[in-house]
Amino acid sequence: MSRVGNSPINITAGVDIKIDKNLVTVKGPKGELKQLINSDGITVKIEENRLIVKRATNQKRHKAMHGLYRQLLSNMVYGVSVGFVTELELHGIGFRAKNSGQLLEMALGFSHPVMFFLPDEVKLETISEKGKPPVIKLTSSDKQLIGQIAAKIRAFRKPEPYKGKGIRFKGEEIRRKAGKTAAK
């Protein structure tokens, strides 16, 4: 039994949802998102200011799609009303980040600066405070897109386990390894 799929999604004030066959469009103050429901056994209905996702059978595939599409629609409703924020920290000597519009320029210890252009759906902000590592702040209404972009930025310089240098999510703990010990 899908526990995630059975719980209804509360529609917050200011959010407008349209269902056209298998295309769900969610509009809100932060933007507009669309989701195509490819599974034939999944139906979406609006009842009493709630969005309800139902499945046709108890097949394993329908159970999996039931929970998946319910969570995707829930993320869409939350994203267009509140929005998602992801913060990345740059740990390392000389690691810097600055942006000009949607172009992110990072100094990550390579011989050249790393440039990354972000789509218009994601708002970019870089924060540099003295005594703290530089922070890249990403804001968007689309949770999938912001997660994918954050993963791409992190992939430029993943945190290494010996010194902890690299790009990491804010609050992420890195498992540190002990280095080589000197011979006695």
Structure tokens at 121: 């759906």
* C-alpha torsion sign, points 160, 165, 171, 175: positive
pLDDT tens for each residue of 43-97: 999 998 999 999 998 888 888 899 999 999 999 999 999 999 999 999 999 999 9
Q: Match 């005594």 to its residue by tokens.
A: 131
- Mean pLDDT on 138-163: 95
Structure tokens at 91: 């740990």
- Contact indicator for 126, 104 with CB cutoff of 8 Å: yes
pLDDT recorded at residue 184:
63
pLDDT recorded at residue 21:
86
- Contact indicator for 57, 66 with CB cutoff of 8 Å: no
pLDDT tens for each residue of 10-33: 998 899 999 998 899 999 999 999
Which residues on neighbouring strands pair with residue 37, listed in sequence order? none
pLDDT at 1 over 60: no
- Distance between CA 131 and CA 96 in Å, rounded? 13
pLDDT recorded at residue 183:
65
Domains of the chain and any CATH numbers: 3-81 (3.90.930.12), 84-169 (3.90.930.12)
- Spatial neighbors of 115 by CB under 8 A, at least 6 apart, are 103, 104, 105, 106
Rg (CA), the chain: 21
pLDDT at 145 over 70: yes
pLDDT at 121 over 60: yes
Structure tokens at 132: 């703290």
pLDDT tens for each residue of 165-182: 999 999 989 999 988 886
